[in-house]
Structure formats: C-alpha cells, structure tokens
Amino acid sequence: MTSLVFYFQVHQPFRLRRYTFFDIGASDDYFDDAENERILRRVAEKCYLPMNAVLLRLVEKHQGKFRCAFSVSGTALDQMEAWSPETLNSFRRLARTGCVEFLCETSHHSLSFLGDEDEFRLQVEAQAQRVEQLFGRRPTSFRNTELIVSNRVAKLAEELGFAAIMAEGADHLIGWRSPHRVYRPEGCDTIKVLLRSYKLSDDIAFRFSNRGWSEWPLTAEKFASWVHGLPEEDRFVGLFMDYETFGEHQWADTGVFQFMEHLPEAILENPRFRFETPSEVAASTDPIARLDIPHPVSWADAERDLTAWLGNAMQRAAHDEVYSLGRELAQVAANRPDLVAAWRRLTTSDHFYYMCVKFFSDGDVHKYFSPYASPHDAYITTMNVVNDFRRRIAALAQPAAPAASR
C-alpha cells in the first residue's frame, strides 16, 4: 500500500505596529491588534472556514477513508480564540472525527532551537498541552517552524517523546534517494522522519493557477494519475503545504476547492492507495535507512536552508538581540507573565522573515507576506521594540527606592 499524507500548516503572527524611535520609553503598545484581527478574519473567511467544511464533508463522504493532518501555531490559536472562535470550533469538529491529526510545533512559531534550547523545550511542551486540551489528543508527531530539521532538532524532538518529525525532501538532503520512504535521522534511536514530496506538493500550492504552466489546468484526475504512476515500493507521499493555499494564495475562482472535493475519490479508485496521518505512517513503517542532516534544512526559498530568516546582518542581529533580551528578562521578571508573553511573540520567525533582502521570485514571496515598505523598515521597527523592552527590564532590575523617613 502507498499512503497519501496531507499535512496543512496554519499560522498567523502577531505583527508589530509602526513603532518608532519616539515611542521608545513612551509606549509599551507593540502589536497591531487591529491589523492582526483584520487579517485573521479575512483568512478565516476565505480559507479556514470554507476549507474546513470541505474536509469535513470528505471525511463523512468517504466514511473515514480520507484523513489529513494540521499543525496550528499557538499564535494562530490565540488569534482564533480572540477574534474568530467559530474558526477554532471548526477545527475542533475536524478533530472529533478521529480522522484528522493535530501535530505539535513551537508555540510561537519560533527559531528557539537556535536561540535557546531550554526555551524551545518550554514552547514545545506548552504547545503539546494546548493541542491536547483543544483537540483531545496529545500530539506524537512534530513539525518544527517552517519544516526546519537537523540532526540536533530531530534529537530534541525525540527526547521530548515524539515518534515522527516532518522535513523537506530537498534534493541536496536526499540526493538519489526517494522522499517517499521513511528514514531515521542520524544520531536518533526511535524517531522517524517523514519527507515532503516538494514537486507534487508545489503543483497544488504554487502552480495550480499558473496558466503558463504546461500542466494547467490541474484536475483531480490528472493529479491522481501522477500519484498512481509512482513506484509500488513507495510507502507514502507527503503532500505538505500552507493551509492558506486554499482560498488565499489560490483564490476560490481558480477551482482549488473543487479540486480538493474530487481528489480523494480519484485517488481511492486505485486500491493500492489510501490516506493516512503522519502518526499512522510512522507507527506502521520501519525506516529503510539513516538520513544525515548535519545542517538545518527548511522548506523556504530556493536554498531550503535558514537564509529566509538569518541570511543577512540585519536578521542575525535582530535574532541575537531578541534572545539576549529573553535571557535578561529571565533574570528579573519571572513573575511577570505579561512580559514573558510579549517577549515570546517577538520570537516568532516572521519578524526576521520580513527583513530578508533576496531578489527574484523568493524576494517577491517575502514582499507578499511583509507588512513593511522595506526589509530595513522591518528591522528598525523590531529593534525599536527591543530597545524599549530592554528599558522596561532595566527598570525592573533597579532596587526599590527606600521609603522617606519622617
């Protein structure tokens, strides 16, 4: 049997407001809640709610034979709870079917595996508890921010009890090997790595509406024929993509919702194929070999590395300052959960992504997602917030003034 594993990433950051030099010392209002609410509601209307309804119909229509998985960042969950509880309820309805798995990630979609491993563990454990509370099952599969994996990340996930970790099937990582097999990361004893089939995933996520693509229009039957033509020894096909593919990146009028409505039936016409969740594949399949991942591999940009977030001096400086701030905060404000919560929002990787200065198609993608006029504006805004935050921490560290004697 060969399984299709659909995994969808759901994430919304807490974007910063236009925080200027003149706000430092005058305002601790860092986040643009009006804009964050507007975007969350727009994406919920265009993507989350209609696509969740499609998936629920597919599960019911195929009597559980259609299965899929999500990872929903903690910041996205925060925004749903605050501004679109009906969206969160629609995800919970999917969870109750027993056919939809919810993965774990860092609670704040952060690069904490690089900045502070203790913080990484705290964020992962917080997210695992929240997923269990909201969706009824403690996650056993892990997806690091932006699918970033290395031998070290895999070992950390294994130590935290996960049975599977998701990764990009990048050419420079797997070489001649197939992304459709299960592997074990080098240095690990139990965890298994499931790879993204980037060509088939991107046919849906990026090329679906491209009229210049030689395979346009993409129908469910055509896509199913490609899958059915894969070698019989292929164990699974990892179709991993941003959930906003549906309705936001690929608009409804492209036919992407209808494509998904018909795809399971087209796939299941061949009895060799089925749908499974990541944990189901990991539980039933032994790894065929070890996979050495000495350097972090992601699913972002052409390089499939960390340069989307840490590729220039601005990004690296801002990242270092945010984690330096966290260490200072831990010394003086352990009893200030409001400050810790605000700082964790600063660890979200999107803040560094907006500072990317790449050109060509990758640069266009960064510009599409950025709320700033330029990468430099993103850097200045972030560093202004960091500087104000540091002033607040310094004020907390000052000893209280003695009471005046009478």
Active site residues: 146
Which parts of 89-231 are beta strand (E)? 100-102, 141-142, 164-168, 184-185, 192-196
Supply 390's token pair: 């540091």
Q: Which residues are CB-contacts of 347 (< 8 A; sequence separation ≥ 6)?
A: 108, 110, 111, 112, 115, 119, 322, 323, 326
Nearest in space to 81 (alpha carbons), one of 122, 147, 133 = 133
Q: How many Å apart are CA 81 and CA 390, to the nearest integer? A: 29
Query: Is 290 strand, coil or helix?
Result: strand
DSSP 183: B
Q: How many Å apart are CA 147 and CA 297, to the nearest integer? A: 8
* Sequential DSSP letters for 5-65: EEEEEE-----B----GGGTTT----B-HHHHHHHHHHHIIIIIHHHHHHHHHHHHHTTT-
HSE of 4, CA atoms in CB hemisphere, 13 A: 27
Q: Can you give the three-state secondary structure of 309-356, one letter per residue? A: HHCCHHHHHHHHHHHHHHHHHHHHCCCCHHHHHHHHHHCECHHHHCCC
In this structure, what are the phi and psi dihedrals at residue 166, rounded to the nearest 5 degrees?
-95, 150
Under 8 Å between Cβ of 296 and 150: yes
CA distances from 293 to 103, 125, 238, 360 (A): 21, 24, 18, 28
Under 8 Å between Cβ of 150 and 161: no
Amino acid at 236: F
Dihedral over Cα of 23, 26, 28, 29: its sign: negative
